[in-house]
Amino acid sequence: MKPVIALVGRPNVGKSTLFNRLTRSRDALVADLPGLTRDRHYGEGRVGERPFLVIDTGGFEPVAKEGIMHEMAKQTKQAVAEADVVIFIVDGRQGLTPHDKTITDFLRKSGRSVMLVVNKAEGMKYTMVTADFYELGLGDPYVISAAHGDGVTDLVEESLDIA
Ligand code: GDP
Ligand code: MG
């Protein structure tokens, strides 16, 4: 069985951009419109000799009780349940949001291994871009640029080690 990595985070943090880089596909829809990728989306990737499955999710709106946001949250929960490891992405340019904290609470309850990843970190100092996120209590964040590829291979190798 290939290990399963789920990409989780609020809309527009760069999940689909990372998914595309990991699977080298254009399958996941990347857009400037937040929340456009609404379905769970599976792909296959490989680092070195190690294959894995990755699930892109359409974002996470845990407060919604019905409607499209509720459906997206349901799908994200299912993706987390299927995952061996969760890559939880936050936006280093926007900083910490209340929404990130809600997702953290959910992930903690899920019992899954979680890697906190600060995306959009290209050209930024580690201490600056990560400072906000320590209060989530998920340890030292990884920093990547999904768009440029910085840190992505290391991140996947680490996540497969704990999967
Ligand atoms: P999703 O909603 O989490 O799937 O986010 P997307 O992958 O659709 O990306 C949302 C926006 O962030 C798009 O405009 C991307 O080009 C941009 N983005 C994604 N990754 C990066 C990155 O590493 N750096 C920067 N500067 N922008 C990024
Ligand atoms: Mg997306």
CATH classification of the domain holding 63: 3.40.50.300
Mean pLDDT of 94-104: 93
Is residue 122 within 6 Å of ligand 1 at its C-beta? yes
Q: Is the pLDDT of residue 26 over 70?
A: no
- Cα-based distances in Å from 153 to 67, 109, 127, 159, 160: 36, 28, 21, 10, 11
Ligand number nearest CA of 122 is 1
ipTM of the complex: 0.99
119 Cβ closer than 6 Å to some ligand 1 atom:
yes
Total domain count, the chain: 1
Give me the torsion for CA of 25, 27, 32, 38, rounded to 10°.
-140
How far is Cα 56 from Cα 65, in angstroms, rounded to an integer?
Answer: 22
Expressed as residue numbers, the domain containing 75 is: 4-162
Task: Share the mean pLDDT of the chain.
Answer: 87
Average pLDDT over residues 34-58: 78
pLDDT tens digits for 101-140? 989 999 999 999 999 999 999 999 999 999 999 999 999 9
Angle (deg, nearest 10), helices 152-162 and 15-23 = 90
